[in-house]
Homo-oligomer: A and B are copies of this chain.
Amino acid sequence: MPSIIKPSIPLIPLAKNDLGLTIRNYEGSMSTLCAGCGHDSITAAIIRSFFEMSLPPERIAKISGIGCSSKTPTYFVSGAHGFNSVHGRMPSIATGANAANRSSIYIGISGDGDSLSIGAGQLVHAIRRNVDMVYLIENNGVYGLTKGQFSATADVGSRAKKGKANKVTPIDPALLAISLGASFVARSFSGDKEQLVPILKAAISHRGFALIDVISPCVQFNNHNGSTKSYSYVREHELKDIETSYVGEFSEITADLTQGNLTSVTLHDGSEVVFRSLPAGYDSHSRESAIAYINGAVARNEIPTGLLFIDEQAPDMHQVLETTSEALVDLSYESLCPGGGQLEKFNQSFK
């Protein structure tokens, strides 16, 4: 019988992580995306990183907007709470959740439409607040779920399924984020798990807003020759300049590095991340050189990937707010209510 039922995310046999969990504990329900959709590969990378980092599933909170990409939180870590909210408003919902409970690990999944059109305002301000979360844009240059309109990241000249060419300058989310003072900005490709997994790990370890722009081809509506977001184009043109490696928990990556400089970054949880950048002297701590590097690559029609910028010192939202280290949701009513005596004082002040 011809079955269209797709296999769920492919599995590594049942190794256990530090929590004694297998990778199955990090899976979700079966994907309903198109066979071959880049978003599914990203899901697999997320599952792998969370497993390898031994994140307790209950500490993870998955939040998304609306779109094919925004459906994906259902497909990983079914033991984590998820929130598939409304189009373009994931940043504010994640901000509020984080304000209420800083103990959770927040991963926000969005699409290029969700984040850069309807959600642009909220994205800008979540960056500005440096909300402690991973913010992953599954970037395919189109509106997948509404069937193939150009998004704000569509390249000039790329063609939609109907053949019309895009003529509006795209927004580069990485460039935008760096200009706005984001504290962690990376880019990767859904088809390259070896790069994406360590970037994800670094993003989770980072305290503050970690934006990951993942080029994720839409096989339905944007996999044509004209498109720079297609598998073929990206495979040809992708620049894996700044390789990433997560020291200690993930050694396969470092083994792959054959050339260039290492940038060692100590993250807030004490873990070390080593980044390899091909351009001599690439400084992932300099906004200016990141901008120049990206602009340069774009001018050469290349897509720079890797950890483009990081600032470990930027205070996150809670540091700015000076919130207690305890999650606000865990405060008892007694510690919050000033009581009748205090109200009596208030009464006096209104006389």
Contacts and interface: CB of A to CB of B under 8 A. Distances in A.
Interface of A: 117-122, 124-125, 128-130, 152, 167-169, 171, 175-176, 178-181, 287-288, 291-292, 295, 314-315, 320
A152 B125 contact: yes
Contacts of A295: 287-288
A349 B295 CA distance: 49
Contacts of A152: 125, 128
A120 B179 CA distance: 14
Contacts of A128: 152, 168-169, 171
B168 A320 contact: yes
Nearest to A289: B292
A334 B177 CA distance: 49
Contacts of A119: 121
Contact of A291 (B120, B121, B129, B291): B291
A175 B291 CA distance: 12
9 shortest interchain CB distances as A-B pairs:
A121-B121, A179-B179, A120-B121, A167-B320, A169-B181, A120-B124, A175-B179, A288-B292, A288-B295
A29 to B, nearest CB: 32
Nearest to A175: B179
A119 B295 CA distance: 26
| Most B Cβ at <10 Å: residue of A120, A179, A180 | A179
Interface centre among A129, A169, A171, A314 (most CB of B within 10 A): A169
Contacts of A117: 121, 125
A169 B126 CA distance: 11
Given A118-B121, A128-B169, A179-B179, 17 more contacts: A117-B121, A117-B125, A119-B121, A120-B121, A121-B121, A121-B122, A124-B124, A124-B171, A128-B152, A128-B168, A128-B171, A129-B168, A167-B315, A168-B320, A169-B314, A175-B179, A176-B180
